[in-house]
Amino acid sequence: MEPAGDKMIAIVCIDDKGGMLFHGRRQSRDRAVRADVIQMTAGRRLWMNAYSQKQFSGENVEVTVDERFLDLAEEGEFCFVEDRPIRPCLDRLERLVLYRWNRIYPADVSLDIFADMGSWRLAETCEFPGHSHEIITKEVYIL
C-alpha cells in the first residue's frame, strides 16, 4: 500500500529535552495521558505500532495497529508515536501533540525534530494532574 499522502496528527510524550524512551522504557505510560488521548481521538482513527498497543490494551478505545502506521494514516487521523523518528513523515504532519512530563530523564531515544520546532506555532496548552507525575503539560503545535 502506498503512503496516504494526507495530513495527520502525531502524539508524542517527551521529557524536557525531547526524550521519548529511557533505558528501554517508555515515557508515555500514564493513565491520565491515555484517558486524554482517548478523549481527544474519539470518533477518529488512532494508529500505533504493536509496542504501543500493549499500553492501550484493556482501554475502551479502538486502535489500528501496523508497523507502517506513520505511512498509512490519512487526513485527520492520529498516530501515537513512542519509539521512532517522525522526521521522515514531517511533510505529512498537520499537528503535533506533545505531552510533557516537566522532568529530564536519561533518554535513549528522543523526538528527532525537537531541536527544529522553531517553525511550529504553539496553538494550545493545558496542564492536568497525571497518575505518575504531579503535573503533565499538553501542547498542541501546528505548522
Residue pLDDT, tens place only, 105-136: 889 999 999 999 988 999 999 999 988 778 99
Q: H/E element holding 20?
A: strand 19-22
CATH code (residue 137):
3.40.430.10
Percentage of the chain exceeding pLDDT 70: 97
Q: Side by side, which strands form the sheet with 25-26? A: 25-26, 19-22, 107-110
In this structure, is residue 41 part of a structural domain? Answer: yes
pLDDT band at 30 (very low <50, low <70, confident <90, very high): confident
In this structure, is residue 137 part of a structural domain? Answer: yes
Strands 46-48 and 78-81: parallel
Tens of pLDDT along 73-106?
Answer: 999 999 999 999 999 999 999 999 999 988 888 8
In this structure, is residue 28 part of a structural domain? Answer: yes
The tally of CA atoms less than 13 A away on the side-chain side of residue 123 is: 11
Q: Is residue 26 scored above 70 in pLDDT?
A: yes
In this structure, is residue 3 part of a structural domain? Answer: no
Tell me the residue range of the domain where 52 lies: 8-142
The residue that leads in pLDDT, 87 or 62, is 87
Q: What is the pLDDT of residue 70?
A: 96
Q: What is the pLDDT of residue 16?
A: 92
Q: Is residue 59 scored above 90 in pLDDT?
A: no
Q: What is the pLDDT of residue 2?
A: 45
CA distance 140 to 58: 27
In this structure, is residue 43 part of a structural domain? Answer: yes
Domain count, the chain: 1
CA neighbor of 69 nearest in space, from 54, 87, 50:
50
In this structure, is residue 74 part of a structural domain? Answer: yes
In this structure, is residue 130 part of a structural domain? Answer: yes
Whole-number average pLDDT of the chain: 91
In this structure, is residue 14 part of a structural domain? Answer: yes
